[in-house]
Amino acid sequence: MGFVTCKDGVEIFYKDWGPKDAPVIHFHHGWPLSSDDWDAQMLFFLGKGFRVVAHDRRGHGRSSQVWDGHDMDHYADDTLAVVNHLGLKNVVHVGHSTGGGEVIHYIARHGQANVAKGVLISAVPPLMVQTESNPGGLPKSVFDDFQAQLAANRAQFYRDIPTGPFYGYNRPGATPSEGIIANWWRQGMIGGAKAHYDGIVAFSQTDFTEDLKKVTVPVLVMHGEDDQIVPYADSGPLSAKLLPNGTLKSYPGFPHGMPTTEAETINADLLAFIRG
């Protein structure tokens, strides 16, 4: 574990586990969490002989709680700083939710020379917000309300999300895990309110359409059909169509947070794609 200092002085926290000569998987977390959200994947792939890397996005987790730079360009540049600092080559980049947008924008912005494959899990591309060209998106008022709730009572807002739609615990017959809920809250509250407030705009209003078209490495798009955070119909299938070498794998009944609640299935499918 350590920190890399970016060109604007921001310190990005990262984890780097496993043999230096092993194949590398770099994990990119969702909003408003941290690299800790990849525990189930990092331990699994470490046990399979991989080198696993994950970083806390600026303003999130243990990285610098700066007030600015909370946009996809900075997220992509911070990723490059981690990749260069560690000298990573032939990397599989795996992103969940906002992290999926970060992965696509990083590859499109900085090139594919050191990228082997990409994986988008419950990811925000192509575009979350509703526009004339994206009529199936969510109204901007939804994201405005997210910001209002965060500003009014972030601690309660970060309790309500994992208790309800993030893991599908609001569905009939669901069995909520207090540990999972508390861990989501813990990760969120460690991060900075300003980063999370601005991050809502970054993940909802960034249009990744042109980025997706540029990425020619193999990309697996994994999405739960009962995703209440990033609705399936306007995300996964559209991204897979825009990607020149994209493959869609959907999961009936799986929630947004499926890497945690459905780790066994997700890990097995990730492994098959990475080794394939």
Rounded Cα distance between 17 and 54, Å, is: 9
Q: Is the pTM of the predicted complex or chain greater than 0.85?
A: yes
- Residue pair 28/94 in contact (Cβ under 8 Å)? The answer is yes
- Catalytic positions: 97, 227, 256
Token pair listed for 150: 């965060």
- Would you tell me how many other CB atoms lie within 10 Å of the CB of residue 265? 14
Tens-digit pLDDT profile for the chain (276 aa)?
Answer: 799 999 999 999 999 999 999 999 999 999 999 999 999 999 999 999 999 999 999 999 999 999 999 999 999 999 999 999 999 999 999 999 999 999 999 999 999 999 999 999 999 999 999 999 999 999 999 999 999 999 999 999 999 999 999 999 999 999 999 999 999 999 999 999 999 999 999 999 999 999 999 999 999 999 999 999 999 999 999 999 999 999 999 999 999 999 999 999 999 999 999 999
pLDDT confidence of residue 1: 76
pLDDT confidence of residue 56: 98
Pairing of strands 51-55, 246-251: unpaired
